[in-house]
Structure 1
Amino acid sequence: MSTPQIPDEFLAKVARRATARMARTDRPFLAERVLGITAHRVRDRRLKADLLGAAADTQLSRGLVPRHLVQAYGAELACADADLKAGRKKEAAAALTRALLLAFHRVPHVDRLHSPLSDDPAGFTARLRASTTARAVVAPRGRKTPPAVPPTDRPLRLLVVNQANANFLGLLTQRYADHPEIELRTLDLAADPVLAPLAKGLRRMIELPLGTQAAYTAEVEAALRPHLDWADTVFVEWCSTAAAFMTLVDPGSTRIVVRLHKYESFTYWPHIMDFSRVDDVVFIAEHMRELTTAAVPRLLATDAPRLHFLHNALDLRRFDRPKSDDARFTVGLIGIGQIAKDPRWALEVLRLLRARDERYRLMMVGGEIDPAPSAAAAAYHEALEKDLAELEPTGAVRRLGPTDDVPGVLTGMGVILSSSVREGCHVGLMEGAAAGAVPVVRDWPFVAGRPHSTRTLFPEDWIVTTPQQAAERILAVTASEEIRAAAGREASRYALSTWDWETVRSDYDRLLLGTDRDVSSPVETPLRKADAQ
């Protein structure tokens, strides 16, 4: 017997009641299931997307990951594709924009200790990659002329571009400002009065390749062309807004190099970029290359940019200083201002240590977690403050806040801890190791168990998986000052020989100045290790 067709208007009424209930109850899961069933039966494409989007917004505002997040952003993609097929390009761009803002909302990927993208990069992005609108946006527009070979009769003109974040560019710009074979310019898009207003707006960056932003296209072309015409090579820091903006126009014969750190992989920017206008993508860790290419597999296509793994540019020798007398029992945690750092995990390690010996204490360095961005961030911040209210009065924890003297602070740390759930390379840990603090590194859950992970970035004996293992390692390496000092010296030797700028800078020279463009930092040992697992 056939099932009678329920009118969309009735289903929408039920769905809206379920959404309202989700906003009022602490147990919204039944209402969310009702919503999913009713929205699934709605035939009107736009109404379905509106219902699922509203429900997703309700859950995200509560700091929760919507049960139907993929279906919600997929429903917007269906609207985008229908609009594009009908020739409604602006409406298609608007729907794709809504889909991206849902899919890459900060709550699922930034303000929690798990991410659906890291759990299943290819699966989470499958609907986006199947969308005809999304494919049209990233369809290769290429360049009219190939990138020119480096000049031999004058210095290479290098333009280094960022947008309001040059945190990891200091050593690079310092080296190439003084390099006889390079003429250097830097460009901060956020500080340029002409480019700053143009380098904003996800929707118009989507509309441009769809052919509905003629005036914007002309403005971007006019603003960027003088920079592109001057430069032989453009090095774009962060694979985010600046990289997407710089590739809106044909770079001509100028070579484009983009460096990706970590957070960009959890944003929509790599999913709207035309990589046919990028010649090289530099990753600072193999596990980030692996995760990103799983989510954006067109980076592995035959016509994709060259992919490189180059360690970050770090001046580690300035951290090699003698330890203070009381460093042995001090565990350091540098960088606590993001939920991904998971300082509560570090506090659990501290509790286990103090259950054995109350001389252990934790020194926390860096700014506090901001509770404002989302309910999820606020919840973690509140739980962390409760933990600290318990531990700080006993002297077990000391919060230093931000400091300009990290090398000085590290002289008082005998152990350096990485409690993070994800990292690109964890600069604070590398600095601590260079300073002779014994590293104890959580096997970062976002990449644990993959061919490339924490275990292929660091020596195996640094890695732990649980607070209990972390505590046992700390107790073992601090059993005496002689044991701790010896382990610290070995950690410092490894850090300086592997990650210090004196070691890494030749890789960047080869990338930017060399004729052999297949450049990566030495990874033969970890690659063999990963392949053997």
Structure 2
Amino acid sequence: MRKTKVLFAGHDLKFAGIIMNVLSNRAEYEIKTDEWTGHNAHDEAQSKLCLEWADVIVCEWGLGNAVWYSNHKKPHQRLIVRMHLQERDTVYPLQFNMEKIDRIIAISPYVYEEFYRIFKFPREKMTMIYNIVDANRLDKPKVNDARFHLGIIGICPQRKRLDLAVDMFEKLWLEDNRYKLYVKGKMPQEYSWLWNKEEEREYYEGIFARIENAPWKNSVVFEGFGDISEWLSKVGFVLSTSDFESFHLSPSEGMASGSYPIILKWDGSDTIYPKEYLFADVEEAVERITLLNSSALPNDFSNAKDYVRANFGVEQITNQWSQLIDELSATVVK
């Protein structure tokens, strides 16, 4: 049996990593990548070599990669473009050669409708497949005091709203000083593009000064970028305080680990996560955490784990990808 040659092309393939790994371990596929250096920057000679090789092309992000491949794809090839939300505010979708694109994947129902509303992509070419979460890797025993530990993953840029996470933590700490806030990810100073923006820099400087001058400063722990599976074992509540997101993997990763997600509502959050995990404001979120911790008994958040496995689990999502690739490649002349 001849394998279907699937090419993944884009500047940031981290969200597609699990999908590529699973498909590469299946007998029917051969996987290759064309890694771009930016939204519209690549080694064109390398991309042309990849193009000659592929049966099915997956553009991860609908940016310059999708423009280039939709203009260079050959008649016998099939082209999939997976879009997140960032693309909404760029010119690239307007430059797609839609006749050459076989399917647009949106990562949530809200994102699907946004791209239809703004760019009027043909609905028959659109589909929705959620992001993927490796639930088995993240499911590890919690430390004893995890229920008093809040965790936030990724605090840059400003729209991630670290200030709201600190507000939430402070209210809880003033009631019970066992609470801690764990902050995971790169610091804003590590992003030159961000730190050079006066508004962003002043925002973070204000928060860091607030923490430094607070009686609870030693209960806010900053930890660097890296694998989160071990880190989540000490987190009982994982926070999503952003102004907006496309999907936000952090709550789902926390849920897979047995953490309770605290999501301050953003547009589309209700199309991804159950309403019991969505909160109108900091006060409502604090009330829920306090209620859950009012019992001396340990909490069992197995419902959250089950939800992630059923909706974002590796088997569930990769099977959807496989079905789509097989459907499209069935029409490829090999």
Alignment TM-score, normalising by the size of structure 2: 0.89
Give the aligned partner of residue 508 of structure 1.
321
Could you list the per-position Cα deviations for residues 437-470 of structure 1 after superposition, in whole angstroms to 9, with x for gaps in the alignment? 11111101xx2xxxxx212211111010111011
Q: Distance in 2 between matches of 1:360 and 1:408?
A: 19
1:350 is the counterpart of 2:169: yes
1:403 Cα shift? 2.6
Quote how far apart the aligned CAs of 1:317 are. 1.2
Give the conservation status (yes or no) of the 8 Å contact 1:228–1:252: no
| Code of the aligned partner of 1:470 | A
**Equivalents in 2 of 1:352, 1:412: separation in Å?**
20
Note if 1:407 corresponds to 2:253: no
> For residues 383 and 276 of structure 1, do their structure 2 counterparts lie closer, same or farther at Cα, with a shift above 3 Å needed?
farther
The answer for the alignment partner of 1:291 in structure 2 is 114
Unpaired segments of 5 or more residues in structure 1? 1-152, 199-221, 448-452, 518-533
Is the contact made by 1:391 and 1:397 (CA closer than 8 Å) also made in structure 2?
no
Deviations 1:469-528 (A, max 9, x none): 11111111122253x522x222112222221102221111111113699xxxxxxxxxxx
2:87 partner amino acid: E
User: What one-letter code is carried by the residue in structure 1 that aligns with 2:113?
Assistant: E
Secondary structure of 1:411's counterpart equals: helix
CA gap 1:305/1:245 in 2 versus in 1, 3 angstroms = farther
SS of the counterpart of 2:167?
Answer: helix
Structure 1 segments, 4+ long, off by >4 Å, are 222-226
In structure 1, how many angstroms separate the alpha carbons of the residues matched to 2:63 and 2:8? 15
Whose RCO is larger (CA < 8 A, sep 6+)? 2
Question: For the Cα contact (< 8 Å) 2:133–2:308, is it kept in 1?
Answer: no
Whether contact under 8 Å (1:363, 1:398) holds in the other structure is yes
1:178 is matched with: 25
How far, CA to CA, are the matches of 1:391 and 1:286 in structure 2?
41
Distance 1:481 1:287, change over 3 A: farther
Counterpart Cα distance in 1 of 2:43 and 2:115: 29
Cα displacement (A) at 1:235: 0.8
The code of the aligned residue for 1:162 comes to G
Partner of 1:330: 149
Q: Cα gap change, 1:391/1:513 in structure 2, threshold over 3 Å: closer, same or farther? A: farther
**2:238–2:260: 8 Å Cα contact kept in structure 1?**
yes
> Which of residues 287, 290, 308 is equivalent to 1:495?
308
Displacement of 1:233: 0.8
With over 3 angstroms needed to count, the CA separation of the structure-2 counterparts of 1:179 and 1:516, relative to structure 1, is closer
1:438 is aligned, of 260, 268, 271, to: 260
Taking every aligned residue pair, what percent have the same amino acid on both sides?
23
Superposed displacement of residue 178, structure 1: 2.2
Secondary structure of 1:485's partner? Answer: coil
- How far apart in 1 are the matches of 2:79 and 2:174? 54
**Given the alignment, which residue of 7, 12, 15 partners 1:168?**
15
Separation in 2 of the partners of 1:400 and 1:230?
Answer: 42
Query: Quick check: 1:333–1:416 contact (8 Å CA) kept in 2?
Result: yes
Secondary structure in structure 1 of the residue aligned to 2:14: coil
Look up the equivalent residue of 2:31 and give its one-letter code: L
In structure 2, do the counterparts of structure 1 residues 515 and 160 end up closer, same or farther at CA, with 3 Å as the change threshold? Answer: closer
More helix by share: 1
Change (3 A) 1:470 1:403: same
Over residues 362-394 of structure 1, what are the superposed CA-to-partner deviations in whole Å (9 max), with x where a residue is unaligned? 111111124434222223222222232234764
Distance 1:394 1:187, change over 3 A: closer
Within a 5 Å distance, the mapping from 1:143-292 to structure 2 comes to 154-163=2-11, 165-190=12-37, 196-198=42-44, 226-292=49-115
The residue that corresponds to 1:6 in the other structure is none
Q: Tell me what 1:384 maps to.
A: 207
Counterpart Cα distance in 2 of 1:412 and 1:225: 47
Aligned residue among 248, 272, 284 for 1:469: 284
CA distance in 1, matches of 2:263, 2:127: 25
Please say if residues 275 and 305 of structure 1, whose CA atoms lie closer than 8 Å, have aligned partners that are also in contact.
Answer: no
